[in-house]
Chain A
Amino acid sequence: MKNKFGNNPLILGGALVKFGAYRNGSHWRDRVRQVAGQALLQAQLERNDIDALVVASESDILSLQVNPAAVVASDLGLNQCAAMRVEGGGASGAMALRSGVMHILSGMAKRVLVLGFDDAASRLSSADTRFLYALSFDTDIEGFAGVSAASLYALSINCHMRMYGTTQMQMAAVAVKNRANAMFNPDAHKPMRITIEDVIRSPNVSSPYNLLDCSLLSDGAAAIVLSAPHAAPRTELERVQISGSGCAVDGVHLGDRTEPHRFVAKTNAAKRAYEMAGICDAAKEIDVAEVYDAFSGAEIQGVEALGLAAEGQGGPATIAGEFDLAGRIPINLSGGLMGQGGSPGSVGIAQAITVSRLLTKTYHQGIQPTQALHRGVIDAHGGVATLCVVHVLEKV
């Protein structure tokens, strides 16, 4: 499907490091150089072929580096190309991808290196990192009052549970599924075989969420090379295009939303991406998805917002196995933020790499669906689905 611009960006190559906690003295710049080199190699491009660099990083406090795009460009020898840094909380990587898409569609660049990183696991204590992340809500009004990601997501899913009867068991099924998927992903931070009972019995974090309902804080880096179709090297390999990109924002205060149980901005972002990609019924036309699973219940709210399940049916569909490897729409085969890991600058880019490999049947053995996949959706957000970014990827 060609969008109204007629030049859907192609994904030429992509690479990510194993997400984890790097306490071995290695630096985020080491990981950035590694993924950039691998992505360019896979794209069959030289550094001089890149005319724009987009860098995603959520926090200068995690990197102790302001203006990281200039530093990365210098490290990579991309001194002559355009460069910018993009930030959107947990959607930082996805926002960088969207920026790369915009560069191509507008004609401002022919080939873009989109790169993201964040060391969320090992630079600060987890308590300090969580405090830092609490600043991604409204610092002035709620941040110093004690708000945290866990408490806001919990208040939202409590409303969902009350509205639709969503259960802790259904949410736990998300945590079990994603961590089990990660068992096949060598780049995953914490693959685990666990049971629903393990999740429900794990220590309380913010009711109803327990420890195993929560995603990971990870160090990570990912890079992807986008190209205008006319500027891509010839190849016999199957390629994937980005056929839709949508972004939308909701009230930063959960309490300002008329329906705090729903991810309305995600629905609006998806509508825009689907319209651009010519999708009328996502539940029927999407084959695979990577959904932003900051918390187990957030994946349920996410699949509903993306139109992959009806309102209130995300929980029952999950526990019925509809989003398993052999299910109707496999979701988070990488392991998502719970299994693969949560490095905000990297996640959205890693999602694109995962889905492009799934579509071309080049993903990890054991987790590649047997059925043919033509189209996938990737989804990320900052805040409690406050700033949402959705992309549609499909085989050329």
Chain B
Amino acid sequence: MVFKDMGKSVELQLNLKYTHPLGQWEPYFRGLKAGRAIASKCTICGRTWFAPRLDCPEHGATVTWVQLSGAAQVVSVTVTQGRLPFCVESVPTAFALVALHGAENLAFARLANVPKLDLTDQTVWISRDSGQWVHPSQAACYVLFEKDRLQEPWP
């Protein structure tokens, strides 16, 4: 902690080191790191969620992990001015709500590029972000063409 005397105030520089556990979402995050959509599926009713739920909201039952195709339909898009957490650079970034094929719910998604046209109702594919990321949830993005997918085997 660094102090700076400013007369009627004191400026403090806070630097925190935080260990962020991945908990039971670890398969989901491992999938994102490989550019794969790993969803949770209820062992009773078969309903599937991406982003995952660790218990079925209907049955309270345990879930199993399944891989989805990674194709998704865009439901809503916004272009935000700002920076990703822990990133220095502030650039326009496109975020979306997407419906992964096979999933009950919608997922919050970052598009690989800021689209020139409205992508609502278009199909996109989950991919591995080729850039640097700080947290596994930043590792995946969505691309417009399946040929642009960067894939690695899901470990």
Which residues of A does B touch, CB under 8 Å? 23-25, 64, 127, 130-131, 134, 140-148, 150-152, 154-156, 158-159, 162, 203-209, 253-256, 260
Chain B residues 76 to 120 lying within 8 A of chain A, measured CB to CB, are 76-86, 93, 95-97, 105-108, 110, 120
Given the known A-B contacts A159-B76, A253-B51, are A146 and B138 also in contact in the complex, defined by CB atoms under 8 Å? yes
Enumerate chain A residues within 8 angstroms of B60, measured Cβ to Cβ.
none
Bound CA–CA A208/B78 (angstroms): 7
Bound CA–CA A157/B106 (angstroms): 15
Enumerate chain B residues within 8 angstroms of A207, measured Cβ to Cβ.
77-80
Is residue B7 contacting chain A, with contact meaning CB distance below 8 A? yes
Given the known A-B contacts A131-B85, A253-B108, are A144 and B76 also in contact in the complex, defined by CB atoms under 8 Å? no
Among A141, A142, A146, A148, the one with the most B-chain Cβ atoms within 10 Å of its Cβ is A146
Bound CA–CA A205/B79 (angstroms): 8
Given the known A-B contacts A140-B25, A253-B108, A254-B97, are A150 and B51 also in contact in the complex, defined by CB atoms under 8 Å? no
Cross-chain contact of A141 among B9, B85, B137 (Cβ < 8 A) = B137
Is residue B75 contacting chain A, with contact meaning CB distance below 8 A? yes
Are B23 and A155 in contact, CB atoms less than 8 angstroms apart? no
Enumerate chain A residues within 8 angstroms of B85, measured Cβ to Cβ.
131, 134, 143-144, 146
Enumerate chain A residues within 8 angstroms of B59, measured Cβ to Cβ.
none
Are B77 and A140 in contact, CB atoms less than 8 angstroms apart? no
Enumerate chain B residues within 8 angstroms of A203, measured Cβ to Cβ.
81
Bound CA–CA A364/B52 (angstroms): 50
Distance to closest chain B CB from A132 (angstroms): 11
Distance to closest chain B CB from A159 (angstroms): 5
Which residues of B does A touch, CB under 8 Å? 7-9, 12, 20, 23, 25, 49, 51, 53, 75-86, 93, 95-97, 105-108, 110, 120, 134-135, 137-138
10 closest A-B pairs by CB: A25-B8, A255-B106, A144-B135, A154-B78, A145-B137, A206-B80, A158-B76, A146-B84, A155-B76, A144-B137
Given the known A-B contacts A25-B9, A134-B85, are A146 and B93 also in contact in the complex, defined by CB atoms under 8 Å? yes
Are A142 and B108 in contact, CB atoms less than 8 angstroms apart? yes
Are A260 and B106 in contact, CB atoms less than 8 angstroms apart? yes
B110's closest neighbor in chain A, by CB? A146
Enumerate chain B residues within 8 angstroms of A150, measured Cβ to Cβ.
78, 80, 82
Bound CA–CA A137/B75 (angstroms): 20
26 pairs from A and B in contact (CB 8 Å cutoff): A140-B25, A142-B51, A142-B108, A143-B137, A144-B20, A144-B134, A144-B137, A144-B138, A145-B135, A146-B138, A147-B95, A155-B78, A155-B95, A155-B96, A155-B97, A155-B108, A158-B78, A203-B81, A205-B80, A206-B79, A206-B81, A207-B79, A209-B78, A255-B97, A255-B106, A260-B75
Cross-chain contact of A127 among B80, B83, B134 (Cβ < 8 A) = B83
Bound CA–CA A205/B23 (angstroms): 33
Enumerate chain B residues within 8 angstroms of A162, measured Cβ to Cβ.
76, 120
Distance to closest chain B CB from A146 (angstroms): 4
Bound CA–CA A146/B7 (angstroms): 36
Enumerate chain A residues within 8 angstroms of B49, measured Cβ to Cβ.
256
Cross-chain contact of A256 among B12, B81, B105, B138 (Cβ < 8 A) = B105
Bound CA–CA A152/B107 (angstroms): 12
Are B108 and A254 in contact, CB atoms less than 8 angstroms apart? yes
Enumerate chain A residues within 8 angstroms of B83, measured Cβ to Cβ.
127
Bound CA–CA A23/B76 (angstroms): 39
Are A206 and B8 in contact, CB atoms less than 8 angstroms apart? no
Given contact pairs A141-B51, A144-B134, A159-B75, enumerate 15 new A-B contacts (beta carbons under 8 Å): A140-B137, A144-B135, A146-B95, A146-B138, A147-B108, A148-B80, A148-B82, A150-B82, A154-B80, A155-B78, A158-B76, A206-B78, A206-B79, A255-B51, A256-B105
